[in-house]
Homo-oligomer: A and B are copies of this chain.
């Protein structure tokens, strides 16, 4: 099977999510990372590329987009793994150059950026993917299928939460990850953008529904922090279902507590990202079941999205790799399972972020969607 030639923007030394994308792209052996503009600092870019054994290193993404689109053996797709305010520039450049874009979430730091990306997507022949990677967990896809099958009946209650504690105290200046994430100019928002959008996306992905309106209360508990570090959000869905999202980066003892709970009039399910190989499902008035990744009682897709037998845990990286695998299918034209988040998920996320801020500024007033 022909491998897909991949480039990367961002992800140089000291970065976090770039390394994750690289591993995710390698796990199933369908991508070769051959080009990069790994840092806005040209010296660091060169050094990072050398360390990673990447053939072609560029000083900046503009040059890279031009050069790669001109090569016969140029990259098929580019992963954009920069801070939020640096998504739009490269995304648009590569879309314009006809190169597929795999963009980290959230879509952008501002609505203006988001609209610019939207415009570029509409004009490009290339595809745009947004790595809401938690949708790649097999049991999350299983949950989506169960909801669609009606196993839960009509949905009533949809709760997602994403709790961390790593920003419990003010970060020191050397913490690169903390610094850009708590800088309004680079991040756009605080925990609602960084992790709240994941929770929102997960709820949307599994239920197949986007809420009509939301009400939010954001807090900045750490003294001097300029972005939110805790958020309580209420959601109203079109079918009458009600939901909440809790997002926090100051919940002491929580590492990466992304949890989803969905209840309908026939059944309920619960999933926790920290032990992602198990999900509980209860039909009303029957014993609760423990559904395992790859185990008994799964739907059509569960076996496709897992590499090893039940009881052999897969984790965050394999879930992320499932997105890369699906993207490889799409780019190579073999299949499009419709599961990879794209521009639409990104725009939903931008509505979520901006509406949370607007609602919180208006004392929790409900903000309608479009």
Q: Mark A residues whose CB is within 8 Å of B.
A: 1, 3, 16, 19-20, 22-23, 26-29, 51-53, 152, 156-157, 159, 164-166, 168-169, 215, 217, 219, 221, 230, 232, 234, 240, 242, 244, 246, 248, 250-257, 261, 263-270, 273-277, 280-292, 295-297, 307-318, 363-364, 366
Contacts and interface: CB of A to CB of B under 8 A. Distances in A.
A293 to B, nearest CB: 10
Contacts of A263: 165, 248, 250-253
A281 B252 CA distance: 9
Contacts of A286: 296-297
Given A221-B240, A287-B289, A317-B317, 8 more contacts: A22-B29, A156-B221, A156-B250, A251-B261, A253-B263, A254-B268, A287-B291, A314-B317
A252 B232 contact: no
A313 B53 contact: no
A242 B268 contact: no
Contacts of A292: 255, 287-288
Contacts of A157: 221, 230, 248, 250-251
A100 B91 CA distance: 44
Shortest Cβ-Cβ A-B pairs, 3 listed: A255-B311, A256-B311, A253-B282
Q: Max chain B CB contacts within 10 Å: which of A253, A263, A310?
A: A253
Contacts of A364: 215, 234, 364, 366
A242 B232 contact: yes
A313 B311 contact: no
A253 B230 contact: no
A253 B275 contact: no
Contact of A221 (B26, B265, B275, B284): B265
